[in-house]
Amino acid sequence: MKSVTILGATGSVGTSTLDLIERDPARYDVLALTANCDVERLAAAARRVGARMAVVADPSCHDALADALAGSGIAVAAGPDAVCDAARMGADWTMAAIVGTAGLKPVLAALEGGKAVALANKESLVSAGDVMIDAAARHGATLLPVDSEHNAVFQCLEERNAASISRIILTASGGPFRERTLAEMQAITPEQAVAHPNWSMGAKISVDSATMMNKGLELIEAFHLFPVSVEQLEVIVHRQSVIHSMVEYVDGSVLAQLGSPDMRVPIAHALAWPQRMETPCQRLDLAAIGRLDFEAPDYARFPCLKLAREALAAGGARPAILNAANEVAVAAFLKGGIGFLEIAAIVADTLNRYDPPAPATLDQVLAIDAEARILAGERVKDCVA
Ligand code: NAD
Ligand code: MG
């Protein structure tokens, strides 16, 4: 039996993880499920899998969760610290699927347990990559990348000898606006931006896919996860999302991982690792797909990708500022306050206005994140006014 905890159990990745666990419940002992405040969904999942504990990050949701789980024997807790405590319960395997900066402390808490951490939360590596990788090494934790691109690279890395790898090539679908001109992009609505052509995901990451900031964040994650330099990381637009990423070796061999675009494939890889497990995911029908297309990314139409690459190259606090400003801008866009193209403008402006020294601890990362949010928020107000 494997003990598991799911942080962010009510989201897109969390729900897919539960789907896999519920297909073979006898194999798993679910220690904790956490969510922000989706009490109904969290309580229902906790009952179904017989979790020992359910936690909401929002303290005002405590009583509703306690009511929903009354008589179940499932322990209830609330607040951000309670989420970290749940992450520290020592599960053999923890899915880190909280969205945004709220995921950082829980990820660090899980890594300190020294077990396997399946990492979906991108922001941990983007904002605090050095801190997280260092914590994993110090505590002997295994980071299992869940993002489909990094999971693909992980699967293709037959050897981690840096000298053998020549390039890592991340594939990008190009999002729903791959063929739009900049002028056409100005009028894009939140509804259009969250409708991804290939993947079903949470709202924030769907907007990031539409701006291609998602691919930029993934470049930064890849830099921390794998033994390559910034120059060895490339992006190729591949609209079918069949090849999830590739590793090129010095002898010219390129290994790719393919599969239908279903997050349950990389999640299952991380859940069963180092073995494999069955999934109900659709098998690839290559004859039906017929062809695979590739094109170079257009940095002029997707300035977020360029900003992310520059932040990665500059290092230090730049990726944390990029990420924080992007979260603020995307939230404002989703609320209808700013235009689609203003997302990149706000991120660029925040990076121009703020250049603190490199953070060495998670608290320093969070302080930089907080300041960048204030600056980005000021710029959002200017846009709305
Ligand atoms: P989502 O919005 O569907 O779910 C987010 C989860 O986090 C929910 O359970 C929510 O309750 C919880 N949460 C939100 N705010 C919180 C807070 N302040 N404190 C504690 N918990 C909070 O997001 P998602 O699409 O499942 O993505 C989760 C993470 O995985 C993100 O970092 C995303 O970038 C990454 N990711 C997602 C996908 C995907 O296919 N959805 C793919 C790759 C990576
Ligand atoms: Mg991805």
Q: What is the pLDDT of residues 243-298, one digit of tens each?
A: 999 999 999 999 999 999 999 999 999 999 999 999 999 999 999 999 999 999 99
3-state secondary structure of 320: helix
If one looks up domain 315-385 in CATH, what number appears?
1.10.1740.10
Question: How far apart are the C-alpha atoms of 184 and 298, rounded to whole Å?
Answer: 15
Given strand 75-78, what is the order of strands in its sheet? 75-78, 53-56, 28-35, 2-7, 93-96, 116-119, 142-145
* From 19, 99, 264, mutation site for ligand 1 pocket: most ligand atoms within 8 A of C-beta: 99
Question: How far apart are the C-alpha atoms of 241 and 209, rounded to whole Å?
Answer: 12
For 350-365, what is each residue's pLDDT tens digit?
A: 999 999 999 999 999 9
∠ CA 342-313-138, rounded to 5°: 110
Q: For residue 159, is pLDDT > 90?
A: no
Residue partners of 85: CB distance under 8 A and separation at least 6: 55, 77, 109
* For the CA of 244, the nearest ligand: 2
Say if CB 317 and CB 358 are below 8 A apart.
yes
Give the closest residue (by CA) to ligand 1 atom 22: 36
Which pLDDT score is estimated for 196? 82
pLDDT band at 81 (very low <50, low <70, confident <90, very high): very high
Which pLDDT score is estimated for 313? 98
For 239-252, what is each residue's pLDDT tens digit?
A: 999 999 999 999 99
pLDDT band at 158 (very low <50, low <70, confident <90, very high): confident
Average pLDDT over the chain, rounded to an integer: 96
What value does the mean pLDDT take over residues 72-91? Answer: 97
Residue partners of 383: CB distance under 8 A and separation at least 6: 332, 337, 338, 339, 342, 346
Number of H helices, E strands in the chain: 17, 11
Instruction: Output the pTM of the full model.
Output: 0.96
Per DSSP bridges, beta strands 243-249 and 254-258 are antiparallel
Residue 202 Cα to ligand 1 middle (Å): 7
Which pLDDT score is estimated for 200? 81
Q: Is the dihedral of CA 55, 86, 80, 328 positive or negative?
A: negative
* From 7, 13, 154, 171, mutation site for ligand 1 pocket: most ligand atoms within 8 A of C-beta: 13
Q: Which CATH superfamily includes the segment(s) 2-145? A: NAD(P)-binding Rossmann-like Domain (3.40.50.720)
- Decide whether any atom of ligand 1 lies within 6 Å of the 122 Cβ: yes
Which pLDDT score is estimated for 160? 79
Residue 67 Cα to ligand 2 middle (Å): 37
Give the closest residue (by CA) to ligand 1 atom 4: 11
Burial class from Cβ neighbours inside 10 Å (0-12, 13-18, 19+) for residue 234 reads: middle
What value does the mean pLDDT take over residues 337-348? Answer: 96
What single-letter DSSP state applies at residue 230? G
What value does the mean pLDDT take over residues 74-96? Answer: 98
* For the CA of 149, the nearest ligand: 2
Query: In terms of pLDDT, which residue wins out, 100 or 346?
Result: 346
- Hey, where are the domains in the chain? 2-145, 146-313, 315-385
Residue 35 Cα to ligand 2 middle (Å): 21
For 56-76, what is each residue's pLDDT tens digit?
A: 999 999 999 999 999 999 999
Question: How far apart are the C-alpha atoms of 289 and 245, rounded to whole Å?
Answer: 18
